[in-house]
Structure 1
Amino acid sequence: MSWLTFQDGDSRESNPKLGYAYGLVADLGFARNYYFSTGLLINTLYSQAMASGQADLVQDMTYRLQYAEVPIAIKLKTNAGSVARFYGQFGFTAGVNVSGKERIAPSTQYRAIEGDDLFRLGLLIGAGAEWRLTNSLSAITGLSYNNGFTRAMKDGRPKLSYTALNIGLLF
């Protein structure tokens, strides 16, 4: 679920929408139960905004922003149990804009956003569990929150944040 928070004081309301991400993540151990977590994710985020225009005309806009992101985090894990191992993580994400599009209702076609920013930085906080499937394979489930530091585009100066349900396999 991602949403935009507008900074320019205009009357836009943002509603969260579902998006998706995929990629590879690596946990590199540097001490017992302490890991450096990084990777490469392609993150597609959607958000809907309602803006009041001239003559009380309300515009319904949907944004689709796609980033290639690199998370840089410290992950703290509990000792391995017979079934699961729990973790918490804290760090940052750095992203490069791959695509930025907007759709203004009633149109069904997306068009390129003029003035979308190239880079995105965000704060990453998360927690979850690694479920042991075999000796060398675990399923990962978790929740994370990513708070955007930088603006996503020039118009309205919105910051893009999201919460994510993380699901994956750890080899």
Structure 2
Amino acid sequence: MKSYFKFSTKIILVFLFLVNFHWESYAQDYYGSTYTYKPVSLGITFAPNMSWHRYGTGVDIEKKWEIGYGYGLLADFGLSENYYLATGFLINNIKSTVDVGPDQLSTTYKTQYVEVPFGVKLKSTQRYYRSYYGQFGFTGGVKIAGDKEVEDMGREEFDAKTFRLGLAIGGGIEWQLDHKLSMVTGLTFNNGFTEILDDGYGKPKDSYLAFNFAIFF
């Protein structure tokens, strides 16, 4: 009887050890899991933005920010597990309002660009199925449409500059949804450093703050 009790006790202890080992392995996998590093990731994005014009010092113009948006494709090319080259192909709509002229007429400018971003993305090690990233780079754009709407005068085309270059910096979180699917949320500040038009009241440049939403496959 005693030998049977000792044998049963050993079986129970072995069973508890295996259960505990399995649970610890599961817990470590859940709380510290990282999926396989992917050398190339392609995704789609939608990015609402708040944009405005910037004028040089000494130019007395009232400026107002407006809501625009961008959408398109993104691509991350891995250099290592934590370093990537980030690029894509985007359609970006930028909109801003200024009060110009002796009568301070409110004029809303709308421009649409085909843009190619190019930058370096730095990612943290993945924990809790998410990682953090920071990104720095440039955007180059070609105008495909441009019009302005002057108060009490209606809408008309305006001669926007053909090319736009900007300096972009941002960051956010990448959420791992499964082994091949992730969602990105973040913010990007894009500071244009080329003139967009010459309207006689200065040579404005534009900037915008974009709220980035993307799905990578």
Aligned pair 1:111/2:160, yes or no?
A: no
1:7 is displaced (CA, Å) by 2.9
Q: Distance in 2 between matches of 1:15 and 1:70?
A: 26
Identity across the alignment (%): 43
**Structure 1 unaligned spans of 5+:** none
Q: Distance in 2 between matches of 1:152 and 1:146?
A: 14
Q: Distance in 1 between matches of 2:144 and 2:56?
A: 23
Structure with bigger strand share is 1
TM-score (norm 2): 0.74
Q: Distance in 2 between matches of 1:46 and 1:78?
A: 34
For residue 206 of structure 2, what is the aligned residue in structure 1? 160
For residue 139 of structure 1, what is the aligned residue in structure 2? 183
**Structure 2 unaligned spans of 5+:** 1-49
How many aligned positions are there? 166
For residue 53 of structure 2, what is the aligned residue in structure 1? 4
Q: Distance in 1 between matches of 2:57 and 2:111?
A: 20
3-state secondary structure, aligned to 1:110: strand
What CA RMSD, in Å, does the superposition of the two structures yield over aligned residues?
1.3
Q: Distance in 2 between matches of 1:106 and 1:52?
A: 14
For residue 130 of structure 1, what is the aligned residue in structure 2? 174
Larger Rg belongs to:
2
For residue 33 of structure 2, what is the aligned residue in structure 1? none
Aligned 1:77-88 pairs, distance under 5 A? 77-88=123-134
TM-score (norm 1): 0.93
Asked if 2 retains the 8 angstrom alpha-carbon contact of 1:7 and 1:157, the reply is yes
Aligned 1:19-168 pairs, distance under 5 A? 19-53=68-102, 57-107=103-153, 109-114=154-159, 116-155=160-199, 156-168=202-214
Asked if 2 retains the 8 angstrom alpha-carbon contact of 1:126 and 1:142, the reply is yes
Q: Distance in 2 between matches of 1:137 and 1:119?
A: 34
Q: Quick one: which amino acid aligns to residue 82 of structure 2?
A: N
Q: Quick one: which amino acid aligns to residue 188 of structure 2?
A: S
Q: Distance in 2 between matches of 1:35 and 1:84?
A: 16
For residue 27 of structure 2, what is the aligned residue in structure 1? none
1:35 is displaced (CA, Å) by 0.1
Structure with bigger helix share is 2
